[in-house]
Amino acid sequence: MATPTPFPRRRFLLASGATAAGLALGTPGVGAAAPGPGPEALLYHRLLLRHTRWVETQWDAAGRYPLADFGFVSVLGNAVLLTHGTYDADLAGVGRDTLADHTVRTIRHFAATNFWATGATWGGGGYEWGGRVFWDGTFESYFVAAARLLWDQLDAATRAHVDAIAVRGAQYVAGLGAGEDPRSGGWSSNGLTGGHRGDSKIEEMGAKSMPLATGLAYHPDHPDAAAWREWLTRWLSNMTGLPSADRENDTRIDGRPVSEWNTAQNMYEGHVVENHGTYAPMYQQSTGAYPGRNALHFLIAGAPLPEVLAKQPNAAGLWRTMTHLGTASGLSSHPMVADRYHLYGRDVLPLTWRRMGQADPYTARAERMLAAHLEPYLAYPPENRLTKFSGEPKYEPEARAEVAIAYLLHVWRDRLHGDVRPVSEARYWANVAGATDYGAEVGLVAHQSARALAMAVSKAGHVKFAFLPEHDDWLFDVTGASPAFLPGTALAVTGRRVARYTRAADGFDGSATVLRFAQGTAGYATLPTGAVVYATSGLAPDEGRLRLHTLAMPGVRGLDGDRTFHGPGGAVTLAPDGGDGGVDEVRFPAVAARHVRILGARPATQYGYSLWRVEVYAPGTAPGSGTDLARGRTATASSADPAYPPPNATDGDPATRWAVARAERPRADSWLAVDLGAEQRVDRVLLGWEAAYGAEYRVQVSADGTGWRDVAAVPAAHGFAGNWVNVDDRAGFVVRGGSHPIRVTAGSVTLSAGPAAPLVAEGYPAQRAGRTRALAAAPAPTTDAPGVAAALADGHLAVFNLTGTAVQATVHVPAQSDEDPARTVRVDLPAAAATILPPAPGA
């Protein structure tokens, strides 16, 4: 069905010059559009059809999609299905006529009850929604786009209401100038100054642009249109502001150089955007999301796209950073805050806009990598959802809207840059290969190579040495509070030293980072082959920790529900058996006990531990039956938040819970114990975890509440008494100088399972277990200086001074082959520093 539109389609939709962020139409990979929808458009159409099954569960008795969480903006996805492509009722789970009826009825209702359409006074009632920049203006934009796609099916009154939303919303934002919206509860862009430390205003400035674009696209002849265009350009240009670059940027937008438009700083010099106090990829992606949302209106209207959409300052740098930190899913890794991590439905549009609207063939590859994950993701429980694992309920209808916009950007590619063909995957990674130190304030060193991404994070609360073999963010979990080599992310960094190596200056790319803590010193070397080396003086028990994803998501490599580990003595395959939140039923051989204790070993989040219920049962009782021996009994804990005391876990009330004290959240070994009142025979506990759950913990029993013994460990663990382990042939680890066994669970690897002790570990991407075994058998370098550690990985010699004083050390490197004989190397290192030496000539 042809798209109904009240405006003629013009052929000059791209702004004059047709130059997008430094990429001209002659860029390799960019060409005229082939006939018919491309593969991404077809995929997005299928996703929208399948997602309609979820949309229809939201239809309520009032005869419309709900107001709550802006559920009614699902109508934009509906409008696309009703006007484009072949409608498949079997995939959608609803007939086309029914969907059309639901869509039009919803548009009619919410158009009439919007603040701008009612003409009401703010705060005086008479309206249901709208009238605020944050974040109603975003959803008003989606809503108006849906109405415009279905314009010929709407009555005159509804059209007038939709026009009022577009015009009055634009007038309101333009009237605010650089000021803030008093209706938005404290949300602010900090005027045109912005901000970059901890809380970038990139998204807030983008949000201010949306009502302006909505009004300007459909009402270009309005008396206020010139002011709308002025502020649209100003907000979109400043949202990616970086003064040091903008002062020298003579690119002209609407006849004026960027230096005349921009005053804001919304990123660090290294093109890094922070939110929630750390690097935040979802916010950095705003550089693509907001222009893409705004462009849709001009495309529907058949109007020229404003120049700023194509000439967005500093966009290339922002995208390069995200690719340099990129994963095999086409998205940036989240080594710090896990905000909207794996929230794929919200990730599509930024990539699509950068590709189609700014003609970037590298982002075309990223979009294709993400696309390969989308159908398995949609099918994963809860099925037919575009957002999972994190975020807010409103993200679901918003994701539908954004996938619909991405679809239209592909379908209308002939009105943008035509087909933007992706570069090869090899070229994609080669383009961003190398190591970058983003600075101590950002707290990030990253090394991207053809075979792995490695990152040293020193930002408070997120301290880790991350390793993503094959760039796979579904193998090791390096987000949020997940530990990576270091024993925990809450370690306080007291010193940081970074050495960076480049192919041009040193003959190879690499980095060597050493971090100092009150507990000792640890270092991390990243190599051009994708290998890494970790060295530590011994900071805490259970060092060399890595967390694994263990989902069963058919269609995504490695996510088959278990992990296979090879090590000395054989192989073991482990599947999750607890430690993943929710309700854990832990069984063990029957024992006599008066006291039962849950002892934490690793919290899953930065919030420590919290339990809704702790139940204890005697032998012979089936699940869901029997007497809870802990009900009403005395509960004590290592600590407690005053609002959530220990007795809440045993009071039988499903609405109360125990939680550790806020100050104790970083503590791994917090505990909660129950006195059963008398000795009992027990063989089962039932634990109801809040979102702050134990990823690893033990169940212990005691006769007197003083001496404890373990009766169960969650999840089940396996130990390797040797110096190597291989994970699924996807990563290999070799331990040098370790004194403790290697412990694995379905969801974790611990390379030194025991008390704090010095350790050197080599990590290798994607190798067979036999190769890891052979590397472990090879002789390792030794040094003559206490506190100096060395490792040889893929021919590169990494040397770490883990002491507090400068050293001169001799490193003895044993022969590796006839072509690589033994050698002796002298190194001078400052206190708490590391160096990398390239392979010896001829090696």
pLDDT tens digits for range 48-79: 999 999 999 999 999 999 999 999 999 999 99
Which of 177, 67, 163 minimizes the C-alpha distance to 133? Answer: 177
State the pairing for strand pair 759-765/796-801: unpaired
**Confidence band for 2, pLDDT divided at 50, 70 and 90:** very low
- pLDDT tens for 521-569 read 999 999 999 999 999 999 999 999 999 999 999 999 999 999 999 999 9
Split at pLDDT 50, 70, 90, the class of 30 is low
Q: What is the mean pLDDT of residues 742-751?
A: 96
Q: Which residue would you say has higher pLDDT here, 354 or 840?
A: 354
Q: State the chain's mean pLDDT as an integer.
A: 94
What value, to the nearest 5°, has the Cα angle with vertex 752 and ends 748 and 755?
120
**pLDDT tens for each residue of 245-300:** 999 999 999 999 999 999 999 999 999 999 999 999 999 999 999 999 999 999 99
30 compared with 830, residue with greater pLDDT: 830
**Contact by Cβ (8 Å): 554, 376:** yes
Residue 146, pLDDT score: 99
Quick one: which of 579, 647, 660, 664 has its CA closest to 613?
647
CA distance 204 to 207: 5
Which one, of 296, 365, 359, 295, lies nearest residue 331 by Cα?
A: 365
Q: Which amino acid makes up residue 332? A: S
Residue 692 has pLDDT above 60, yes or no: yes
What tokens appear for 144 in the block? 């108006």
- Residue 29 is predicted with a pLDDT of 64
Q: What is the CA radius of gyration of the chain?
A: 29
What does the pLDDT look like over 171-205, one tens digit per residue?
Answer: 999 999 999 999 999 999 999 999 999 999 999 99
Phi, psi of 358 (to 5 degrees): -125, 15
- The string of DSSP codes covering 651-699 is SS-TT--EE--GGGTT-TT-EEEEEEEEEEEEEEEEEEE-SS-EEEEEE
pLDDT of residue 481: 85
- Quick one: 14 exposed, middle or buried, by C-beta within 10 A (0-12, 13-18, 19+)? buried
Q: What angle do CA 47, 552, 727 make, to 5 degrees?
A: 125
Question: What is the per-residue pLDDT across 83-128, written as a single tens digit (0 to 9) for each?
Answer: 999 999 999 999 999 999 999 999 999 999 999 999 999 999 999 9
CA 638 to chain centre: 33
Which band of pLDDT confidence, cut at 50, 70 and 90, is reported for residue 455? very high
Closest listed residue to residue 508, CA positions, set 531, 484, 529, 490:
529
Pairing of strands 520-526, 452-457: unpaired
CA distance 226 to 218: 13
**How far apart are alpha carbons 299 and 75 in whole angstroms?**
18
CA nearest neighbour of 200 among 143, 284, 128: 284
| Residue in this structure with the two tokens 């009722």, named with its chain if needed | 89
Mean predicted confidence (pLDDT) in 11-37: 50
Q: What is the pLDDT of residues 760-789, one digit of tens each?
A: 999 999 999 999 999 999 999 999 999 999
* 678: Cβ contacts below 8 Å, ≥ 6 apart: 594
Instruction: State residue 625's pLDDT score.
Output: 73
Measured CA to CA, the distance from residue 781 to residue 480 in angstroms comes to 34
Helix pair angle (395-411, 136-149), 10° resolution:
50
SS3 447: strand
Q: For residue 191, what are its two tokens?
A: 């005027």
One-letter amino acid of 108: R
pLDDT at position 816 is 85
Query: In whole angstroms, what is the distance from residue 190 CA to residue 204 CA?
Result: 9
Q: What is the 3-state secondary structure (H, E, C) of 222-244?
A: CCCHHHHHHHHHHHHHHCCCCHH
DSSP state of 4: P
The pLDDT confidence band at residue 578, using thresholds 50, 70 and 90, is confident
Residue 496 belongs to what H/E stretch? Answer: strand 493-501
State percent of the chain over pLDDT 70: 96
Question: For 470-513, what is each residue's pLDDT tens digit?
Answer: 999 999 999 988 999 999 999 999 999 999 999 999 999 999 99
- DSSP annotation of 325 reads T
pLDDT score, position 637? 98
680 burial via Cβ count (<10 Å: 0-12, 13-18, 19+): middle
Angle of helix 315-324 relative to helix 286-301, nearest 10 degrees, comes to: 130
**Per DSSP, which regions of 143-287 are E strands?**
252-253, 256-257, 274-275, 278-279
> Which amino acid is it at 67?
L
If one counts every other C-beta atom within 10 angstroms of the C-beta of residue 177, the result is 11
Q: Is the pLDDT of residue 27 over 50?
A: no
Q: What is the pLDDT of residue 16?
A: 32
Nearest 5°: the CA angle 41, 42, 48 is: 90
Residue 608 has pLDDT above 60, yes or no: yes
Residue-level pLDDT at 12: 31
Does the structure show a pLDDT above 50 at 19? no
Contact 500, 511 (CB under 8 A): yes
> What's the pLDDT tens digit per position in 408-436?
999 999 999 999 999 999 999 999 999 99
- pLDDT at 6 exceeding the cut of 60: no
Cβ–Cβ under 8 Å, residues 435 and 509: yes
By the 8 A CB rule, do 484 and 546 touch? yes
H or E stretch covering 208? helix 202-218
- Give the whole-angstrom CA distance, residue 534 versus residue 544: 8
Cα distances (Å, whole numbers) of residue 245 to 265, 442, 532, 609: 10, 19, 34, 45
What pLDDT, on a 0 to 100 scale, did the predictor assign at position 452?
Answer: 99
